[in-house]
Structure 1
Amino acid sequence: MKIKIWMIRHGMTAGNRQQRYVGTTDELLCEEGRQQIILKRQLIKSYQNIQNVYVSPMLRCRETAEILFPAVSQITEAGFRECSFGEFEYRNYQELNGHPDYQAWIDSGGTIGFPGGEDQKAFCDRVQTAFEACIRDDVMPKARNWGQTYAGQNAAEKEFTTAMVVHGGTIMAILSKWAMPHQDYFYWQVKNGCGYLVCLDTDEWLAEKGSLSVIEKF
């Protein structure tokens, strides 16, 4: 069975507009971000067929999901939170430029830990563990039940589709492990309100050989 997943980065916040590192700061979308998501809703052609939407607990993700999928219940996944930027939280390049710890982070290619925050590996491990559990324990059982419900009702022409409204880093962590062909972490960066439509094969995931096929970037 095939499952399609819309992976969507939340809309713009005031911190995003000022190019700040927004991790644990829990802010709503700015007005520009709300309008951005309203326009994006028109581009997600099959949004009305979404069975469930999984969200980070942060307000910016929950608000984005509410705008995109107002009739779909939200399922909160704590492990989908953005990276903790520690002492760099809600600061931008202009404020951090010249800071030795910030320069060390840049020189590492963004892999070492933020002072008082997460490093790239710890963050990716957290997100990937949460994603794998979500697919195994919630998405696939729901897809199986859906398939049984529509058995004999032209289900072959339908697909189980779900959505994840999360953070840019969360998408990068997931796709850097499972998307094929493989690309590194920063390759998967997306702007606010953008993301990827991906597909997985449940038989592969049950056999612990799971991967994600990228259908499109939007």
Structure 2
Amino acid sequence: MADGINVELVVVRHGITAWNLERRYQGQHDIPLLFPDAEEGLLALKDALISERFDAIYSSDLKRCQQTLEWIQAAKPGMPHHLEPRLRELNFGEYEGKVYDELKDLPHYRAWVDSVGELQIPGGESAAQLRTRLEAWLSDMAIDARKQGYRKILVITHGGVIRELRRRFETIDFWEGAVLQAQGRRWQLTHQAGVSGKGEWLCNCSSAVPVPVSEPS
């Protein structure tokens, strides 16, 4: 078996959009950030990451993620930046652009909620399909990390993606995996490549990004 490699993975959600505030299912619609509402969270995230040096960045190719990356100024000259469609939000199909009150009486929507996202959305994806594309990306990221020597990686993505990655690495319940806009998780990972070449990512520890402010004693 090949030697393992250690990778620090910092995964953050994009900043606030108008559809976030309106509580609309955003999915893969290319909705931009909303200013000035997004600014406070983005500046806090920028401050949290300003002193960190990443070996590479992977980001969803949707506009709100690209704007987030530009605002937090984490990309340095010469740093590899991979635009990655597999890091897009879950495809919400017929639910995109709609709010709960518009959907709550639809039998297929109620069934989807009761399934904790496991059912396939009409015209969209299931949680299993999202997990499949994320696993494919994780496998390719392992190859990149080994070939290019990446040991600290920044990822700009979406809430549903982070929820699934938290279930993958932190083994928590679906409802516990949510993160707010311009926030995310930091994972210390080890990748052990098997004889088949596919290998496996294992999580050693996780923490919030930015680090929560301590409550006064």
TM-score band, normalised by shorter chain: 0.7 to 0.9
Aligned ranges 1:1-218 → 2 under 5 Å: 1-31=5-35, 32-44=37-49, 46-47=51-52, 49-68=53-72, 69-71=74-76, 72-134=79-141, 136-143=142-149, 160-177=151-168, 179-180=169-170, 182-202=171-191, 204-205=192-193, 208-218=199-209
Once residues 148 and 175 of structure 2 are traced to their aligned partners in structure 1, the CA distance between those partners, rounded to angstroms, is 31
Higher helix proportion, which one? 1
Structure 1 gap segments, 5+ residues each: 145-159
Deviation at 1:175, TM superposition (A): 3.0
Deviation at 1:87, TM superposition (A): 0.5
**Structure 1 match to 2:214:** none
The letter of the residue matching 1:86 is G
The letter of the residue matching 1:138 is D
What SS does structure 2 have at the residue aligned with 1:169?
helix
* TM-score of the two chains, using structure 1 as the length reference: 0.82
Once residues 49 and 204 of structure 2 are traced to their aligned partners in structure 1, the CA distance between those partners, rounded to angstroms, is 18
Structure 2 gap segments, 5+ residues each: 210-217
Identity of matched residues, %: 25
Deviation at 1:39, TM superposition (A): 2.0
* TM-score of the two chains, using structure 2 as the length reference: 0.83
Deviation at 1:44, TM superposition (A): 2.6
Once residues 50 and 207 of structure 2 are traced to their aligned partners in structure 1, the CA distance between those partners, rounded to angstroms, is 12
Structure 1 vs Structure 2 CA RMSD: 2.0
Q: Deviation per CA, 1:167-187, whole angstroms, max 9, x where unpaired?
A: 11112222322x14x223443
